[in-house]
Amino acid sequence: MKYAGRIVTPLTDKAALSLRSGDKVLISGIIFTGRDAAHRRIADSIGGNRPLPFDLNGQVIYYVGPSPTPPGKTCGSAGPTTSGRMDPFTPLLLDLGLKGMIGKGTRSAEAIEAMVRNKAVYLGAVGGTAALISKSITRMEIVAWPELGPEAVFRMRVEDFPVVVLIDAYGKNLYETGPRQYRRDPAGRPGAE
């Protein structure tokens, strides 16, 4: 697979704005994990004026539930989970500086509007490749809410973590443009609307 480029976290506005829907990129740096329960805790902390145990500014959150770590490995399988479950919390986190999210599946109109407003991106990790993805993770540690088990927030150091830009900071959505590209008109020509 050919990659359009490499990005390093934390992301800047310039880096986020340079990405286009459909780009295949490799990420290196720190990525945080977070699923439903962690997002609820983040929102509760913010609502209760309590400080977060990590800084959201410029960060990327991967919607993943790490599986148990086999002996001698950094982590177990690390595949994406359905992102739409985080949509109720997404605008809040983006308004606080979150720059990227990694997952799978479509996003709500409100989440996409918040991405555009905050110059943020939604990246896709390929489901079914969890064991391969885990090879890009060089270190993992719990940074918040260990009692949540696999839904705790982990800090992952990654190197050349493969993703596809699903929704860019301009709101262009691969879930909409991709199917149109391959749709055929009645005469059999590709690209029909």
Residue 188 lies in a domain: no
User: Which pLDDT value is given to residue 161?
Assistant: 92
Q: Encoding tokens for residue 87? A: 């949509």
Residue 158 belongs to domain with CATH number: 3.20.130.10
Q: Please report, for residues 53, 114, 135, the alpha-carbon distance to residue 80 in angstroms, rounded to integers and kept in the order given.
A: 23, 21, 14
What are 165's two structure tokens?
């830009």
Q: What is the pLDDT of residue 25?
A: 95
Average pLDDT, the chain: 88
Q: Which tokens go with 78?
A: 């690390």
Query: Which residues fall within 8 angstroms of residue 28, CB to CB, at 6 or more apart?
Result: 6, 7, 8, 9, 158, 159, 160, 161
- Tell me if 191 is assigned to some domain: no
Residue 15 has pLDDT above 70, yes or no: yes
Q: How many domains does the chain have?
A: 1
Instruction: Compute CA distances 179 → 148, 174, 190, whole Å.
Output: 38, 8, 11
**Residue 187 within a domain:** no
The answer to whether the beta carbons of residues 167 and 21 sit under 8 Å apart is: yes
pLDDT surpasses 70 at 141: yes
Say if residue 193's pLDDT is above 60: no
Q: Give me the pLDDT at residue 52, please.
A: 92
Q: CA-CA distance, 39 to 45, in Å (whole number)?
A: 10
CA distance 157 to 162: 13
Q: 193 lies in a domain?
A: no
Overall average pLDDT of the 115-143 stretch: 85
Report pLDDT digits (tens) over 51-76.
999 999 999 999 986 666 667 776 66
The answer to whether residue 133 scores a pLDDT higher than 90 is no
Q: What angle do CA 114, 53, 42 make, to 5 degrees?
A: 40
CA angle 176, 105, 185 (to 5 degrees): 30
pLDDT of residue 179: 78
Q: Which residues contact 88 (CB under 8 A, 6 or more apart)?
A: none
What's the average model confidence in pLDDT over 154-181? 92
In a domain, 192, yes or no: no
Could you tell me the residue range of the domain that residue 69 belongs to?
5-182
Q: Is the pTM of this model over 0.75?
A: yes
